[in-house]
Structure 1
Amino acid sequence: MFSLILQRGRRSQWRTLTKATPFTQPFSSSTIATTTNTNKDLLSLEDERKKKTFTVSYLIDSLGLTTKLAESISMKASFDKRGNPDSVLKLLRSYGFTNSQISSIIATYPRFLIENPEKSLRAKLHFLKLNGASSSELTEIVSKVPKILGKSGGKWISHYYDYVKEILQDQDNTSSSSSSSSSSSSSSKQTNRTRNVSVLREMGVPQRLLLNLLISRAKPVCGKERFEESVKKIVELGFDPASPKFVNALYVFYELSDKTIDQKVNAYKKLGLSVNEVWAVFKKWPFSLKYSEKKIIQTFETLKRVGLTEEEVRLMVKRYPECVGTSEEKIVKSVETFLELGFTKDEFAMIIKRHPQCVGLAADSVKKKTEFLVKTMGWSLKVVASTPIVLGFSLEKFIFPRCNVIRVLVTKGLIDEVPAISTVLTSPKLKFLKLFVEKHKSVSHDLISIFTGDSSLID
């Protein structure tokens, strides 16, 4: 398989990119935030940037969100007109939701801002009101568990709403100072579900994770013996109750029998991992035991066929266990993408060893980033392969701002050449600013403006 992919990669003309001279086109402000080769791509990028900027300003002004949260929401849903989002906020406020509660809902479901509120929200809220939810209950429960609004069908919405209401009431009963007789009465009525949630709450599992457990189709908190056995195993393995991994591990142990878990562990052992390494992988990513023995072996074999040695595959699984769930098709497509761009077999192996997450990156994203880094900035493919973590950074929010600062400095003759890729893209923000912005006081104001879109991804 790898030889066929490699032949395709060798026919690629992408190696010519390494011969490109940085900044062959006159540098101007209009080129700062654009790097694609066609006018259509340029316009699309600019339009998207404007929509995100408008969305961020709208959310800050309308709901008082922090810039960071507003930017996060704009990455999932952006718009350039007030009409639809205004209607969404008006609808939620008409049901009594405060700005803080609306923020929780929108942060969970940004798409509500761009969907028709009559179809996506009003019917669900109206259904809950018809089924007896008071205004105060409705706003409290929906804002604490916005995922209720993501359910389709009145039956499911009502079902999950009742679950959450029951747990919140149980929490109130537990925290209130009541008489021994009333406590006894409450206890006698307590279901497995409420008792188990109370146990998890006392262990330190956050409320947000408890409520998510309740609206999941899987019900690891509904049993008794199985629940107790699962929690005991998780505690013995040392999971932190405050971590989402604790809940993920609960799902796995609750759903799988001891025999099935042993089979999964043995599958990894056959591929060269020790028992301790298998459990270390599980602690890093609990869902590693959910895949069938066939799937586990298939992933190992696929990674070997595309050029990794057995030891390199084991190292990859230990560093990035999520790769076990990656389909054969996606792995092969990843190899094809890198080879078509001109990376050699050895360079691809280097990329995967140094940053295994690259195997899961979208092909279009890898192509755009590689083109910019090689053709526009002038770094070689070998240099990119030596620092593959940069391929996981946001092109628009992280790579463009930093690289465009460098482009200005080179164009104005303030530095002689483009610095090393690691210095530009993997330095902490404060170090980057000190090296390339603060020391050039004559243009520091302009450089700060260019740098504004940067995100603190590696502080």
Structure 2
Amino acid sequence: MFNPSVFSRLSHDVMNNSCSRPLISLTVRFISKSSSDPSQSFVVAYLKDKLGFSPESAMAADKYLLFKTPEKPDSVLEFLQKHGFSKTQIEKIIKVRPGLLYSNAEKTLLPKLQFFQSRGVSSPELIKILFYNPKVLTRSLEKKIIPCFNQLSNLLQSDYNAVKAIKRYPFLTSCPLDVYMLPNISFLRDNGVPESNIISMFICHPRSFVVNPDTFKEIVKEVKEMGFDPLLPKFLFAVVVFRKISKPAIERKFEVYKKWGWSEKEIWEAFRLYPGVVESSEEKIAGIMDFLVNEMGFESLLLANQPFVLARSLEKRIVPRGLFAQDLLSKGLIKSFGLSALFNTSEKVFVERFVNRYEDKAAELLSLYKEKMNLAVGGKYRSSYS
């Protein structure tokens, strides 16, 4: 059913994605210098004393840095501190992009921060974005950053959506979108995927769209051949799952389900109902199955028919709600319960349906529910299955 070469190439893309690799050699374009005793250079001493570099890291960066006085690098460090970056964040940013120490902070760095803030990025959000992708600070504002952001904003139909996507995958601000992203989106359109579905899924999973177009096309074709309807959101969900998870990882998760009595056919049927059945870790899958089957008494194959439950948090939803429902059952307040009613409702709906509804018969129910929450998060279920 599946072409192993798709996943082989996919793994290669993930490991070699140029958008995600902060390479000093590609960033710093300064002439290397020689020194009879590099361990004694001003740069080495500065990086060690000011930024806590190890001797090895300082000497490696020293090959690319030429400053002999502290004024320029001091101004950069003070600028970053002034704008909310912690000492640890600054140290890691400079290790990845040592060339920043040559920057004119007010002329080249400040306008970039101001641009993102003008588009709706808060200061804490901006710090996180730049920490994970400091390459942005070395790019041209006019030639690279603004065109890239505008392109993303036009695609997602608002600055707000563009910011949401960048927050989830900061490397969007430095990726060649024309190469890695736009061809993939165009291919989805050609296959009948609605624009609204593309936008929604891209905002939630932007990294899944940044991949070699040939690999992406093969994944889309595989999903289509499985019978997924391109008009439904589930189609793109399946594409994202296969983009994120390698074939060997999927096979390992299949083995976990098989240990609980699911056949290969039943696993694929569950996948068609809810592609997220292969998103959770093997440990989480085993933990959910164990609790629901052995603790709650559900039939294993019932979960194959309602696989959505495998996406829920074991600690925050499944265990506390399950234990609470068992208490209601033992008190005679309810006669039965189903997976959907227990685990596929919001917290507000669950409390209204299972807690407040019986308040007049058992006033202590809310406290009991909170007790189950604490047990799940801090007790044996956390240590066993988290």
Question: Could you tell me the TM-score, scaled by structure 1's length?
Answer: 0.53
SS of structure 1 residue aligned to 2:135 = coil
Instruction: Specify which of 91, 110, 117 is matched with residue 201 of structure 1.
Output: 117
Assess, with a 3 A threshold, how the Cα gap between structure 1 residues 357 and 133 changes in structure 2: closer, same or farther: farther
Distance 1:407 1:252 in 2: 47
- Does the 8 Å CA contact 2:183/2:213 hold for their aligned counterparts? yes
- Determine the C-alpha separation between the residues in 1 that align with 2:172 and 2:267: 33
Partner of 2:284: 365
Aligned residue type for 2:95:
W
The 1:365–1:304 alpha-carbon spacing in structure 2 relative to 1, beyond 3 Å, is farther
C-alpha displacement at 1:341, in angstroms?
A: 1.9
What are the Cα deviations for residues 365-414 of structure 1, in whole angstroms up to 9, with x where unaligned?
11121122122212223432343332222323332222222223334x52
Whether the aligned pair in 2 keeps the contact of 1:148 and 1:215 (CA below 8 Å) is yes
Alignment partners' CA distance in 2, 1:441 and 1:315: 42
The Cα shift of 1:337 comes to: 2.7
1:159 positional shift: 4.3
Q: What residue is the counterpart of 1:16 in the other structure?
A: none
User: CA separation of 1:422/1:202 partners in 2, compared to 1, >3 Å: closer, same or farther?
Assistant: same
What is the aligned partner in structure 2 of residue 258 from structure 1? 178
| CA gap 1:360/1:445 in 2 versus in 1, 3 angstroms | closer
1:407 and 1:298, CA in 2 relative to 1: closer, same or farther beyond 3 A? same
Partner of 2:251: 332
**Structure 1 residues 215 and 196, CA gap change in structure 2 (3 angstroms):** same
Aligned-partner SS, 1:195: helix
Contact 1:402–1:425 at 8 Å: present in 2 too?
Answer: yes
Partner AA of 2:278 in structure 1: V
CA shift, 1:338, in A, is 2.4
Q: Which amino acid aligns with 1:393?
A: R
SS of 1:334 mapped into structure 2: helix
Q: Is the 8 A contact 1:282 1:289 kept in 2?
A: yes
Distance 1:161 1:265, change over 3 A: closer
Whichever residue aligns with residue 380 of structure 1, its letter is E
- Give the direction of change, closer, same or farther, for the CA distance of 1:141–1:436 in structure 2 (3 Å limit): farther
- Equivalent pairs counted in the alignment come to 305
Q: Choose the corresponding residue for 1:387, options 306, 314, 319.
A: 306
CA distance in 1, matches of 2:206, 2:368: 47
Instruction: Kindly indicate whether the alpha-carbon contact (under 8 Å) linking 1:268 and 1:296 is maintained by their aligned counterparts in 2.
Output: no
Q: For residues 384 and 439 of structure 1, do their structure 2 counterparts lie closer, same or farther at Cα, with a shift above 3 Å needed?
A: farther
Corresponding residue of 2:338 = 420
Among 209, 216, 233, the alignment partner of 1:289 is 209
SS state at 2:159 partner: coil
Change (3 A) 1:294 1:452: same
For residue 449 of structure 1, what is the aligned residue in structure 2? 371
Whole-angstrom distance in 1 between the partners of 2:91 and 2:359 = 45
2:66 matches 1:148: no
Distance 1:448 1:228, change over 3 A: closer
Distance 1:419 1:161, change over 3 A: farther
One-letter code of the match for 2:285?
V
Cα displacement (A) at 1:207: 1.4
Q: What are the Cα deviations for residues 258-303 of structure 1, in whole angstroms up to 9, with x where unaligned? A: 3554543455457664677655543443323311134324544665
Q: Read off the aligned partner of 2:92 and give its amino acid letter.
A: K
Instruction: Report the Cα offset of residue 328 of structure 1.
Output: 1.9
Secondary structure, counterpart of 2:332 in structure 1: coil
Amino acid at match of 2:211: Y
Superposed, which structure 2 residues align to 1:179-328 within 5 Å? 190-191=107-108, 193-217=109-133, 219-221=135-137, 222-223=139-140, 224-237=142-155, 238-241=157-160, 243-246=163-166, 251-252=171-172, 254-256=174-176, 258=178, 261-268=181-188, 273=193, 278=198, 281-300=201-220, 308-311=226-229, 315-319=233-237, 322-323=240-241, 324-328=243-247
Distance 1:289 1:159 in 2: 30
Classify 1:332/1:264 alpha carbon distance in 2 versus 1 (closer, same or farther; 3 Å): same
Distance 2:315 2:146 in 1: 48
Q: Name the aligned partner's letter for residue 184 of structure 2.
A: K
Three-state SS of the structure 1 residue aligned to 2:261 is coil
Query: Residue 414 of structure 1: SS of its match in structure 2?
Result: coil
Q: Given the alignment, which residue of 361, 367, 377 partners 2:296? A: 377
| Cα separation, 2, equivalents of 1:287 and 1:279 | 13
Structure 2 match to 1:342: 261
The alpha-carbon deviation at position 163 of structure 1 amounts to 9.5
Give structure 1 stretches of 5+ with no counterpart.
3-123, 171-189
What letter matches 1:326 in structure 2?
Answer: I
> Residue in 2 aligned with 1:397?
316
TM-score by length of 2: 0.61
Partner amino acid, structure 2, of 1:156: K
Q: CA contact under 8 A between 1:288 and 1:322: conserved in structure 2?
A: yes
Q: Alpha-carbon deviation of 1:331? A: 2.5
Code of the residue aligned with 1:433 in structure 2: it is: V
Please tell me whether the aligned partners of residues 321 and 343 of structure 2 are also in contact (alpha carbons under 8 angstroms). yes
Unaligned runs of 5+ in 2: 3-46, 54-69, 378-386
